[in-house]
Amino acid sequence: MAILFRCPCGRSMVADSDKVGSIITCPNCHRSLRVPSGKDRGKELGQAPPATRATRPCPRCGQSAPVDAQVCSHCRASLLEGTRLKAAVTSPVAKMMKGGTPILYGSSRATWWSRLSSSAKAGILSGIGGFVVVTIIVAYLFYSSWHAGQVSHACGRLGKALNEGQKLESQGKFQDAYEYYFWALAKVDFVRDGGSPSDLERLSRIQDRANGLQYIVEEPKTRETLRWQPKSQVELEAAQHELLATYPSYRQRVLAVADAALAAIENTRSEGNQTAFAQKVGLAMDAFIRLTNSTKPHQRWTYSFDILVEGIRELTAANRRWDNTAVRENLLNHAKQRFEGLKKFVHQPPGTPMGDKHNSL
């Protein structure tokens, strides 16, 4: 005889009558159960044919083989899992039960997940959720640390580029200074994301200097603002009109550069100190950068601006060739003549016979 009873988890269990009182394990929830007896005894089932309850036919030779055997003892054929399940489902014991096929003691048809208890499932899901949360936190901390390092590195570049670049400017090494500035601007987004107000101020100064130097260097990164040309007669006339209207302020900026350059030349004639001369040249460069960043492209496409650029090149070249007195003095003399002539030239407004005008005319 066989006894049918249920586990508290809801699964049906079948055990032989001679196992009454023994402890078995539910393959679904893994509880330890005692096979009931007496009043608690479950439904008794009739004696099932041994071949359908404990054995099954071999799909190859047809001989009976134990239900838990993997190889037929008669023909050594593999006993597939599907055959085992089919034999169990169609057994008389299963047909006698209502509500579906039970889980037979000694074998299991449930998956590993379905055999877990509710608390075990909750524990696994909680563990997975915790792992995901921890992974996200670790990734965020790693990114934050990396981003902070990039911000610090980018901000450090600004100070170095600004100091070294201005030294190179005063020596006439404009291409080197220009490349220095663009090296610092390579990580501009990190400075904008996490830089301090002082870092942002240095960033603005470097961008201004890079924009100004593109008129002096041999290989500028962009040429859009360097090659202004009117696209029509109407645009040319509008630019001429604006140049005439804004020329007084433009003239003042040009004179500021010329006066700073002449002061540097006068200083070296009176003191003969290269360090002091380099500082004065730096002031002239600062005035030049302010001019380029406060004017429009068509205002910088004038004869006066070309004269100014040539004077700056001669002034800084004199500092670069300081040890060669003859070359230095020749450069200073040319620069002085150019800046003094420029001061007279810009006093003649556009439209006069000797006044300033666009290079495109």
**94 confidence band (pLDDT: 50, 70, 90):** very low
**24 confidence band (pLDDT: 50, 70, 90):** confident
Kindly state whether residues 125 and 50 are assigned to the same domain.
no
Last residue of some domain: 59, 79, 104? 104
Is residue 9 in some structural domain? yes
Kindly state whether residues 49 and 135 are assigned to the same domain.
no
| Most confident region among 170-174, 231-235, 339-343 by mean pLDDT | 339-343
Is residue 178 within 8 Å of 207, Cβ to Cβ? no
Is residue 262 in some structural domain? yes
Is residue 346 within 8 Å of 304, Cβ to Cβ? yes
| Pairwise CA distance, residues 341 & 116, whole Å | 96
Q: How far is CA 23 from the centre of its chain?
A: 61
| 292-314 residue pLDDT tens | 999 988 888 889 999 999 999 99
Q: Does position 96 have pLDDT exceeding 60, yes or no?
A: no
Last residue of some domain: 104, 128, 161? 104
Least confident of 1-15, 89-103, 142-156: 89-103
Phi-psi region of 70 (alpha: psi -120 to 50; beta: other; left: phi over 0): alpha
| Pairwise CA distance, residues 339 & 261, whole Å | 8
Is residue 162 in some structural domain? yes
Kindly state whether residues 92 and 139 are assigned to the same domain.
no
Is residue 20 within 8 Å of 37, Cβ to Cβ? yes
Is residue 147 in some structural domain? yes
Sign (positive or negative) of CA dihedral 101, 106, 108, 112: positive
Kindly state whether residues 99 and 123 are assigned to the same domain.
no
Retrieve residue 58's tokens: 């071999």
Kindly state whether residues 100 and 125 are assigned to the same domain.
no
**Span 165-194, mean pLDDT?**
88
Those residues whose C-beta lies under 8 Å from the C-beta of residue 105, and which sit 6 or more positions away, are 13, 14, 15, 19, 24
Kindly state whether residues 237 and 261 are assigned to the same domain.
yes
How many domains in the chain? 3
CA distances from 279 to 254, 268, 276, 314, 358 (A): 19, 11, 5, 16, 33
**Which pLDDT value is given to residue 224?**
58
Length of the chain measured in residues: 361
132: amino acid identity, one letter: V
Kindly state whether residues 202 and 158 are assigned to the same domain.
yes
**Which pLDDT value is given to residue 333?**
95
Is residue 41 in some structural domain? yes
Kindly state whether residues 253 and 285 are assigned to the same domain.
yes
Q: Does position 93 have pLDDT exceeding 50, yes or no?
A: no
27: amino acid identity, one letter: P
Is residue 158 in some structural domain? yes
**Which pLDDT value is given to residue 152?**
83
Is residue 171 within 8 Å of 198, Cβ to Cβ? no
Least confident of 11-15, 32-36, 96-100, 235-239: 96-100
Kindly state whether residues 252 and 334 are assigned to the same domain.
yes
**Span 58-69, mean pLDDT?**
76
Quick count: other Cβ atoms within 10 Å of Cβ 247?
Answer: 21
Q: What is the CATH number of the domain that holds 247?
A: 1.20.120
Is residue 91 in some structural domain? yes
Is residue 86 in some structural domain? yes
DSSP E strand boundaries for 93-165: 103-104
CA distances from 48 to 25, 51, 98, 251, 348 (A): 22, 8, 16, 115, 122
Range of 57's domain? 2-104
Q: Does position 1 have pLDDT exceeding 70, yes or no?
A: no
Those residues whose C-beta lies under 8 Å from the C-beta of residue 218, and which sit 6 or more positions away, are 175
The whole-model pTM stands at 0.58
Kindly state whether residues 11 and 91 are assigned to the same domain.
yes
Quick count: other Cβ atoms within 10 Å of Cβ 1?
Answer: 10
Q: What is the largest CA-CA distance in the chain?
A: 129
**Which pLDDT value is given to residue 336?**
95
Least confident of 85-94, 165-174, 295-304, 338-347: 85-94
Last residue of some domain: 162, 182, 213? 213
Share of the chain above pLDDT 90, in %: 29
| Pairwise CA distance, residues 212 & 85, whole Å | 85
DSSP assignment, residue 19?
G
**Which pLDDT value is given to residue 159?**
85
